[in-house]
Structure 1
Amino acid sequence: MSRYKIKDLFNIEKGTLQSSKNVEGKYDFITASSDWKTHETFTHDCEALIFAMGASGSLGRTHYVNGKFITSDLCFILTPKEEFKDKLELKLYYHYFNFNREEIVKATATGTSKKAINLANFSKYEIDYVENQKELLRKIEIVLPKVTELEKIIMRNSSLLESLSRKLFEYGVKGKLVPQNPCDEPAKEILESIRQEKLTLVNQKKLKREQPLPGITDIEKPFDIPNGWEWVRLGEVTNILRGSSPRPKGDKRYFSETPTDYNWITISDITSYSNNNILYKTREFLTSEGSTKSTYVSKDEVIIAVSGSTTGKSCLTGIDGYIYDGLAVIRLFSSGISERYLSLFMKYLYDFLNNSKEGSAFPNINTDKLKKVVFPLPPINEQNLIVEKVEQLLKLANELQSKVVYAKKESEYIMKSVLQEVFGNV
């Protein structure tokens, strides 16, 4: 066993095609991504390794190709030097580069926010060279098909469970998950109680009087609802408030460097710290003075992102806190709506718009648009039964998902063990 610089074993070329200039065709277009594209022409017709050198998220990913192809300008093309042409098993080195990906990137990448690997650093990096490459490759290829098939099964199961979760939200808000009880107080009674409560609050000057929302047309109703339910505008039955932010950001009068009783809730908290759709902690905190300049939310209220790439994502608050201006709170009145049912609906709405051909992903939204969202309102007893059934089935789905995650780790461990045995001995 000996070590060679990459440039001593391989010819190294830089790819030529910018992804933005790709024209679909019949030849492989290999980029830094795990998925290949096609192009109308090719630059190479050979066996080669394609190494991602300029795409930070995919940095160090290596592809194996044998045939006609063209490559992204964010990749290196590696072909054997003439003297090693019959000595290098490129499929083996495909596994070698991917197995050592983290180490190679760490040793050769430069930059801070956007890392890349330059040709000089990559060329000088030393890798192992062994004589018995065919035997080592054979060991890998005995196990690889079995692991690949296992991973396909795992991915299918994971996809089915994600689909199941979406269906639970859908069936819940369509009234298909629990039986209806004709003895339940109909939703129109809830609606009337909320209207009376809002009127009282307006008269007490605790709530601003607002212009009536437009009526709901039949075309706006995405599905039929059971008897006893009502279609309403979200703004009819809730009070939607946009968050506010102390300025400037980072001012020590408003923002604390240590934990306080004033939790500062941001969009990143929804994505990072929301456990089972409930937010239990934040990464930032306000001072007492800062809390007076932001919008307060209490435990068990629904908050939603109204700007940025996560627009439409929502969760329940498991803590008291203060929301910044990229969030809004959908605040309920005291009459007849379950916070958890509202949260379930908002989850359904987000999934529907992001996964349905009939919908489209949430754009940036303001509170006026949120107020006009059509909302299926069941009787309160049925709301509670729907939430109970969804949470029960979601718990089971999450347990199954945990087993899928464990199985995926096991399959990765099997493959890693084989590669460790092969490359650990070179």
Structure 2
Amino acid sequence: MQLLKHFKELTVRLKNVEELKGLILQLALQGKLTANWREENPDIEPASELLNRIQKEKEELIREKKLKKEKLLPEISINETSYKLPNTWHWCRLQNIIKISSGKGLTSANMDKSGKVPVYGGNGITGYHNIGNVIKPTIVIGRVGFYCGSIHLTEKNAWVTDNAFITYYSEDNISRDFLLLLLSGTNLKEDENATAQPVISGRKVYPIVVSLPPLEEQKEIVNVVETLFKEVEQLEQLTVKRITLKEDFVTSALNQLTTNNANQEWTFLQEHFKSFFNETTNIKKLRETVLQLAVQGKLTADWRANNPEVEDASILLKRIQEEKVQLIKEKKIKKEKALPKITNEEIPYKLPDGWVWCRFYEIANIASNLVQPEGYLDYPHIAPNVIEKNNGILLPFKTIREDKVISYKHLFKPGHILYSKIRPNLNKLVKVDFEGLCSADMYPIDSYIFQDYLFLFMLSKEFLRQSVKNDTRVAMPKINQTELNKVIISIPPLEEQKAIVQKVNALMGLCDALEQEIQQSQAHSEQLMQSCLREVFEGERKMEEV
């Protein structure tokens, strides 16, 4: 049986836990978990005898006028059964083994809040009262609304409201705990009208066909299911603990990378990559750390050692300033308002030799160019909603015409970085190699340094930290041009900028490969689960190689 063969493997992923419990329950209710028990107990009274006794009990109650005569339902047809039963089991309708009646209305306002008697509605306990209307643990079924069909067991003394049904059954012939499993594993609202308020009734519940095992096997099924459920829960706890410990360790290790000896920590992590980075959340943290290491110069220490004669970034910055002066003279860009010099308090980390700190406006220009959209109807229209957060990926977009744009938009050019000033905590930006219009809530940015380096800096946690720290707007967080221009950026020499981008691209490729392995592992787990589902609902079947 595939389920039991791959039991532990299926519980490695938290998503599978509830599905796995559902499969266990379905297998149990088909008699597939107690086959060995039946071989060891061949002389057990068949379920047909239980049904005969239950029917006689009901007839006696009808004679005593304690129970109304039920409407006779048709014999069960072959089309109503979906699998072969063990020899001692019997198909029956729920009407043959249970009777349901509505609880009694009790509003919250009428509850005695000082009482200790639990009040049960469609989804379990809804409050407390001073008296009850059931005097022993009772199975209740949600009757109406979202929770109709949900199953609960009350405490010994409880009140059941009219949002639930009280379930009656022959306690000498049906195990209460088995009946709980049977009702939980049965779709009691299968024929409900999806367009109306969900509601179930005896008319809908009584005709449902279920399989009934002998009484002693009912008890064995309960034992087996409880044992397997406990194992699933233990494995789930171990999975949660494993993931939590791994995430804590990865977080600590990655933090060490950005604060201590990067080479030493990186070597250690590389040796354990497959073990540590097999959860999507850890890959995300790895990507963030790669960017942070890049803008700190910790990915290119070897490159600097091999290239000691590279032109200092301060010379690059001076040359950029000269170019900007010329562009201002030619009226190609506007002169920016001078901002204060960078203070020691602003500097978040020490830079390698040859690097410099500068403000955003010193190496980039916000190229605002608002235009009426009428003259650009077939141009691409880029808005924040077509950019993924934190990764610079552009999603499918439409034209100005298709989006029916009527308000002013920025005209952007190939080579611009488009940055969303709305909700800077989402860090939405993208590089473009085409002309188009972007939302007025975005800044088209010209880079005077290597564009790919500026782009990855803007994706880094350091840029994000600075872009959100001064924003106190709660309703609509936004970063204005002055705040953006104040952001300080670590600038390496031009050739090192290119080396950094190359290194980051290689490491992001590694992250992509790790994510693909995770997806393949998840797909394998899903295939196993689907194979088990087929086995349960379509009969025994050999699993295909996955």
Alignment of 1:195 with 2:306, yes or no, is no
1:194-219 deviation line (CA, Å, top 9, x unaligned): 11111111111111112101211212
TM-score normalised by length of structure 1: 0.65
Distance of 2:415 and 2:104 partners within structure 1: 58
Partner of 2:444: 329
Match of 1:267 among 351, 367, 384: 384
Question: Structure 1 residue 391: deviation in Å?
Answer: 0.9
Pair 290,352 (structure 1): closer, same or farther in 2 beyond 3 Å: closer
> Residues 140 and 167 of structure 2 are in contact (CA less than 8 Å); yes or no, is this contact kept in structure 1?
no
Q: Say if 2:313 and 2:355, in contact at 8 Å, map to a contact too.
A: yes
Q: Which moved more, 1:294-303 or 1:124-133?
A: 124-133
Structure 2 vs 1, CA of residues 364 and 246 (structure 1 numbering), >3 Å: closer, same or farther?
same
1:26 corresponds in structure 2 to none
Residue aligning to 2:251: none
In the TM superposition, what are the counterparts of 1:3-18 in structure 2 within 5 Å? none
Q: Distance in 1 between matches of 2:478 and 2:349?
A: 25
1:379, CA displacement in angstroms?
0.8
- Among 187, 192, 215, the alignment partner of 2:341 is 215
How many angstroms apart in 2 are the aligned matches of 1:419 and 1:188?
Answer: 65
Q: 1:131 aligns with which of 192, 205, 212?
A: 212
Change (3 A) 1:52 1:46: same
3-state SS in 1 of match to 2:357: strand
Q: How does 1:132-151 map to 2 (within 5 A)?
A: 134=221, 137=225, 141=229, 144=232, 148=236
Instruction: Report the counterpart of residue 317 of structure 1 in structure 2.
Output: 432
The reply on whether 1:378 has 2:492 as its aligned counterpart is yes
2:371–2:411 CA contact under 8 A, matched in 1: no
Structure-2 separation of matches of 1:122 and 1:309:
53
Please say if 1:162 is aligned against 2:284: yes
- Of residues 133-142 and 185-194 in structure 1, the stretch that sits farther from structure 2 once superposed is 133-142
Contact kept in structure 1, 2:142 and 2:151, CA below 8 Å: yes
Task: Report if the CA contact (8 A) 2:143-2:164 is conserved.
Answer: yes
Q: SS state of the match for residue 311, structure 2?
A: coil
Q: Which runs of 4+ in 1 moved over 6 A?
A: 2-5, 7-14, 44-54, 62-67, 77-80, 91-97, 121-128, 288-292, 359-362
Q: Per the alignment, do residues 197 and 121 of structure 1 end up closer, same or farther by CA in structure 2, a change over 3 Å counting?
A: farther
Distance 1:85 1:371, change over 3 A: farther
Contact kept? 2:192, 2:199, Cα under 8 Å: no
Spell out, residue by residue over 1:157-203, the C-alpha distance to the aligned partner (whole angstroms, 9 max, x if none). 22322221111011101111112243111111121111111111111
Normalized against structure 2, the TM-score is what? Answer: 0.52
Identical pairs, percent: 24
Note the residue ranges of structure 2 that are not aligned, 5 or more in a row.
1-90, 109-122, 130-136, 156-162, 247-277, 540-546
Q: How many Å apart are 1:346 and its aligned residue?
A: 1.2
Aligned amino acid, residue 214 of structure 1: P
Further displaced range: 324-333 or 188-197: 324-333
Relative to structure 1, the CA distance from residue 255 to residue 422 in structure 2 (aligned partners, 3 Å threshold; closer, same or farther) is farther
Shift of 1:294: 2.9
More strand as a share of residues: 1
CA deviations 1:340-380 (Å, max 9, x no partner) are 111111111378649x99x9999322222111111111111
1:107-166 CA distances to partner (integer Å, 9 max, x unpaired)? 7665xxxxxx84438999877744368389589759956985897568962232222111
Contact map agreement 2:144 2:197 (CA 8 A) in 1: no
Q: Which runs of 5+ in 1 are unaligned?
A: 18-31, 33-40, 68-76, 111-116, 248-252
CA deviation digits over 1:198-252, x for unaligned, max 9?
Answer: 11111111111121012112121111111111111111211124575857xxxxx
**C-alpha distance in 1, partners of 2:417/2:454?**
8
Task: Measure the CA separation in 2 of the matches of 1:52 and 1:301.
Answer: 57
Tell me the equivalent position of 1:120.
Answer: 199
